[in-house]
């Protein structure tokens, strides 16, 4: 292990101090989203990132035992609860599991949280189509399924454990298998969006919404897929998922455009964009700290499901990335950056939104990665 307990604790202590700066800036009825041009940007609870801030507070409460963080989290859970009825989004895993799932894990209070989680899981599976064999991501298009949706499956596996009803987990497994079949290219990079025909399950188109072009490897999408399949292996024990996760990891870690510091460009193809790309003039070098955070967390877990040199390699890559994220230029000084921990993330370059800014989910997965590493150190 290359990172010391002192190093990890120092980063977590920093995070506790910084999230309190953030807490002072967040309106009572909103969630923090980003900080742009000296302005804090918040969201309503129906925005897809609404679960990350309470989730971050809960992880930091778990680390510090600081009751103020638990109180701040519970305040936000109160306004977030209504999203359990939201059938208009596939992002309920992010919204409800990263928040209420962590609250249940840490408090054991099933009376407070079980019904919320199971109602949310019911809402999520209304978006499942047995012909397509996948959960619909967005409205519009025909029947779009995005790679990000792999991240909502953990919510369903946990809902089955909580309820004793296998149907949630079964849908998660079917969705994961459909994604293996249709989302991935021969090199184990993923398309962002597969658009299906809901009548017969055939593929209408393979596209991107947030990547550089349809055939490019949008970086955060690659990270979502890796994290999702590592998690599916943990939850099912099916070696297919572990083997697949390793192949995705190999694509990412061995990519010729992976920067030396382990913090990817927003798209793995960004440095090689042709002159006629709409992003070639301004966006060949943007990094995405959110992708790095997700990767670090996923690789730490992957290291625990593998052994020997393979395990050591995944862990050392995660350590290297965490070290990079914990220093300049990515780590903000306490009291700056609107209270967000990390700088230099990218929301969506094609939409011209949240470019080179802090993002709530970058901080969440960074904290999660630190907590996972801390648990490794503690055996």
- Residues carrying an active site annotation: 91, 148
Of 280, 264, 148, whose CA–CA distance to 213 is shortest? 280
Give the pair of three-digit tokens for residue 247: 């192949």
- Rounded CA-CA distance 51/321 in Å is 24
DSSP H helical ranges for the chain:
5-23, 52-64, 67-80, 92, 102-107, 110-125, 153-163, 167-183, 219-236, 239-253, 289-304, 308-325, 360-377
Q: Name residues whose C-beta falls within 8 Å of residue 95's C-beta, 6 or more positions apart in sequence.
A: 45, 48, 50, 51, 80, 83, 86, 89, 120
Burial class (CB in 10 A: 0-12, 13-18, 19+), 130: exposed
User: Of 295, 328, 125, which is closest to residue 227 (Cα–Cα)?
Assistant: 295
End-to-end CA distance of the chain: 11
* Residue entry with tokens 């992708």: 291
Distance CA 90, CA 125 (A): 9
């Amino acid at each position: 292990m290359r990172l010391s307990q002192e190093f990890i604790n120092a980063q977590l202590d920093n995070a506790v101090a910084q999230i309190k700066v953030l807490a002072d800036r967040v309106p009572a009825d909103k969630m923090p989203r980003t900080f742009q041009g000296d302005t804090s940007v918040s969201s309503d609870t129906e925005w897809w990132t609404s679960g990350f801030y309470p989730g971050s507070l809960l992880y930091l409460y778990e680390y510090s035992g600081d009751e103020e963080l638990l109180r701040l989290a519970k305040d936000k859970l109160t306004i977030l609860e209504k999203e359990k009825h939201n059938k208009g989004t596939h992002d309920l895993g992010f919204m409800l599991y990263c928040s209420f799932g962590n609250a249940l894990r840490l408090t054991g209070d099933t009376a407070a949280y079980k019904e919320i989680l199971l109602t949310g899981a019911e809402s999520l599976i209304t978006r499942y189509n047995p012909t397509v064999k996948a959960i619909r991501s967005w409205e519009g298009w025909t029947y779009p399924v995005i790679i990000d949706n792999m991240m909502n499956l953990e919510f369903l596996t946990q809902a089955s454990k909580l309820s004793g009803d296998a149907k949630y987990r079964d849908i998660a497994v079917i969705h994961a298998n459909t994604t293996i079949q249709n989302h991935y290219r021969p090199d184990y990079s993923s398309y962002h969006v597969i658009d299906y025909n809901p009548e017969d399950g055939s593929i209408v188109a393979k596209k991107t919404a947030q990547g550089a072009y349809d055939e490019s490897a949008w970086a955060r999408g690659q990270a979502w897929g890796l994290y999702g399949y590592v998690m599916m292996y943990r939850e099912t024990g099916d070696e297919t998922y572990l083997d697949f996760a390793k192949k995705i990891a190999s694509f990412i870690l061995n990519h010729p455009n992976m920067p030396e510091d382990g913090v990817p460009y927003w798209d793995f193809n960004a440095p090689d964009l042709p002159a006629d790309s709409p992003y070639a003039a301004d966006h060949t070098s943007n990094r995405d700290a959110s992708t790095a955070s997700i990767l670090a967390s996923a690789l730490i877990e992957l290291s625990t499901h593998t052994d020997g040199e393979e395990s050591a390699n995944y862990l050392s890559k995660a350590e290297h990335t965490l070290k990079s994220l914990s220093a300049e230029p990515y780590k903000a000084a306490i009291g700056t950056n609107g209270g967000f921990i990390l700088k230099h993330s990218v929301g969506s370059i094609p939409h011209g939104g949240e470019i080179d800014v802090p993002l709530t989910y970058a901080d969440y997965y960074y904290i999660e990665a630190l907590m996972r590493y801390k648990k490794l150190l503690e055996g």
